[in-house]
Chain A
Amino acid sequence: MTAADSFVQAVQVLPLRLRGEALSLLEGDRARTEELRLRAGWPMTALIAGAERPLGGPPVEGEELDQLVEIASRASRHAVLDQIRRGYLTIEGGHRIGLCGTAVMREGEIHALRALSSADLRIARQVEGACAPVLDGLCPGGRLADTLILAPPGLGKTTLLRDLIRAVSEGEGCLPLRVALADERGEVAAMYGGRPQLAVGRRTDVVEGCPKAQGLMLLLRGMGPQVLAVDEITAPEDVRALTAAAGCGVTLLATAHGEGRADLERRPLYRSLLEEGLFRFLVGIRRDRGRYCYNVEELR
């Protein structure tokens, strides 16, 4: 699917008037549009190459935001309530709609969002081949080794993780392995209707929507994985689940927020990862003149 096709697929969830506005963009702009932003009382804008520009139509109405959610959820709010509580919806094609409004709180937790005020339609684009620069280095003897991808937000950790999962699952440039993915926030595989909307390979099993640690244990018990993948280790339970999995002989593939190895050693949560010797390789990412550069470091 081309970038322009992805755009056309994503805007199908917009109410008719707004869809018409979005489709009035020229083909080249459609392909470069990263997001469409809808704010009640303001015209819809498109984020193109990092700059937000109004599309020139009348202001977005609150009712149109409700209609957007109805179309995106296929009139099934109950089925996407957990996603709405987290502030976004995943739709067909792996596109995501971020939502803002007045939070309805129950027992200290967000129960729902009412009086929607903003929505952000993010257009999914897969970068197949993103892992090519590092794949050989992470597969000594042709088999993926335990790998931790470490970088600050916005540098493409999830993109690299997704492509590594796809490559390993497909046996593209390495031994094909069964991969099990704990995708708590649905950002890696973007499941919709029981199918991944982003390519994660034919030998990949995905559990999404549950806390990572629980998901990892479910996958370990039920799916007999050879590789266990998880995006963003954030809690001690995640580390405990990964440690348990490592004890079962499963290869680990994970991401974490951080600047580099020194950052890992400084933070107690991550320090335990190093002390346990869970990962053999550490992949760092940085951006240099608009290009992603990877650094693979052997930890053990």
Chain B
Amino acid sequence: MMVRLIGAALVAAGGGWMGIQAAAGLRRRARALRQMAAGLALLEGELELDAPPLPQLMTRGAGLGQGPAKELFQGCVQGLDHLDQEGFAPLWRRLAGGLDELGPEGQAVLAPLGDALGRYDIQRQQEALAAVRRRLEELAGAQEADSRRQGRVYQALGLSGGAFLVILLL
């Protein structure tokens, strides 16, 4: 009987844990989107400071950025040494498409920014950065709200699914 009870408790806890993980996934995406937005804010600031060329801009961004922003900027630093093989805009688009933690929507928002960076005057680049940053922040806000709302649902579903399994098994 004891073994059955422990098994039932484990199944119920497992269901709850799956629910928590699903909610945590939403929070992770929101955090990644926030980190990306913060990285873009860094670029805006550096452009304002002394309008550095892209290799310097990306190096500074990679040094100070976190999460997907760091990964993206590091990729750009490397790719900028091989512009004869891949231009900057396709490079940025490819790298942005590889940032799975941002989700398809975040990737889609970020991808076109490479068409503006380095190409237009400073003000236009800052405007493009700010527009993408704001959109990423909106997405992050929506993800956070989802994670709060759906997190509870997922946890409840996980726990009740676990309990349902327990009843079936017992």
CB pair B53–A16 under 8 Å, yes or no, is no
A295 to chain B, nearest CB (A): 43
Q: Tell which of B36-44, B61-69, B79-87 binds the partner.
A: B79-87
> Is B51's CB within 8 Å of the partner chain A?
yes
Q: Which of B96-145 contact A (CB under 8 A)?
A: 117-122, 125
* A68: nearest chain-B partner, CB-CB: B84
CB pair B84–A75 under 8 Å, yes or no, is no
CB pair B84–A76 under 8 Å, yes or no, is no
Q: Which residues of A contact B125 (CB under 8 A)?
A: 78
In Å, the complex CA distance between A16 and B83 comes to 10
Q: Which residues of A contact B54 (CB under 8 A)?
A: 74-76, 79
Could you say which of A19, A67, A71, A79 contacts B53, with CB atoms under 8 Å apart? Answer: A79
> Is B52's CB within 8 Å of the partner chain A?
yes
> Is A77's CB within 8 Å of the partner chain B?
yes
Q: Which of A1-34 contact B (CB under 8 A)?
A: 15-16, 19
What is the 8 Å Cβ interface bit string for chain A, positions 63-89, against chain B (1 contact, 0 not)?
A: 000010011011111111100000000
Q: Which residues of B contact A73 (CB under 8 A)?
A: 53, 118
**Cβ-Cβ contact count across A and B, 8 Å cutoff:** 51
CB pair A75–B120 under 8 Å, yes or no, is no
Q: Which residues of A contact B118 (CB under 8 A)?
A: 73, 75-79
In Å, the complex CA distance between A75 and B89 comes to 9
Q: Which residues of B contact A75 (CB under 8 A)?
A: 54, 80, 83, 87-88, 117-119
Q: Which residues of B contact A15 (CB under 8 A)?
A: 84
For the residues of A in contact with B, the DSSP-based class is helix
| Interface residues on chain A, size class | 10 to 19
CB pair B121–A74 under 8 Å, yes or no, is no
B133 to chain A, nearest CB (A): 18
> Is B161's CB within 8 Å of the partner chain A?
no
B56 to chain A, nearest CB (A): 9
Interface size on B, residues (CB 8 A): 19
CB pair B122–A78 under 8 Å, yes or no, is yes
In Å, the complex CA distance between A213 and B27 comes to 58
B76 to chain A, nearest CB (A): 9
A76 and B83 contact, Cβ closer than 8 Å, known pairs A70-B88, A81-B121: no
What is the 8 Å Cβ interface bit string for chain A, positions 34-77, against chain B (1 contact, 0 not)?
A: 00000000000000000000000000000000010011011111
Q: Which residues of A contact B122 (CB under 8 A)?
A: 78
CB pair B84–A74 under 8 Å, yes or no, is no
* A81: nearest chain-B partner, CB-CB: B121
Q: Which residues of A contact B53 (CB under 8 A)?
A: 73-74, 76, 78-80
* A13: nearest chain-B partner, CB-CB: B84
> Is B55's CB within 8 Å of the partner chain A?
yes
B167 to chain A, nearest CB (A): 62
In Å, the complex CA distance between A65 and B68 comes to 33
Q: Which residues of B contact A76 (CB under 8 A)?
A: 52-55, 57, 118
A8 to chain B, nearest CB (A): 14
Q: Which residues of A contact B88 (CB under 8 A)?
A: 70, 75
CB pair B51–A78 under 8 Å, yes or no, is yes
CB pair B84–A78 under 8 Å, yes or no, is no
A19 and B84 contact, Cβ closer than 8 Å, known pairs A76-B118, A77-B119: yes
* B88: nearest chain-A partner, CB-CB: A75
In Å, the complex CA distance between A80 and B88 comes to 16
CB pair B84–A71 under 8 Å, yes or no, is yes
Q: Which residues of B contact A81 (CB under 8 A)?
A: 121
In Å, the complex CA distance between A44 and B125 comes to 34
In Å, the complex CA distance between A73 and B117 comes to 13
Known interface pairs A16-B84, A74-B53, A79-B51; 13 further A-B residue pairs with C-beta atoms within 8 A, sorted by A's residue number = A16-B85, A70-B83, A71-B84, A73-B118, A74-B55, A75-B118, A76-B57, A77-B120, A78-B53, A78-B118, A79-B53, A79-B54, A81-B121
Q: Which 3 A-B pairs have the closest CB atoms?
A: A76-B53, A75-B88, A79-B53
Q: Can you list 15 residue pairs at the A/B interface with Cβ under 8 Å?
A: A15-B84, A16-B84, A67-B83, A71-B84, A74-B55, A74-B80, A74-B83, A75-B54, A75-B83, A75-B118, A76-B57, A78-B118, A78-B119, A78-B120, A81-B121
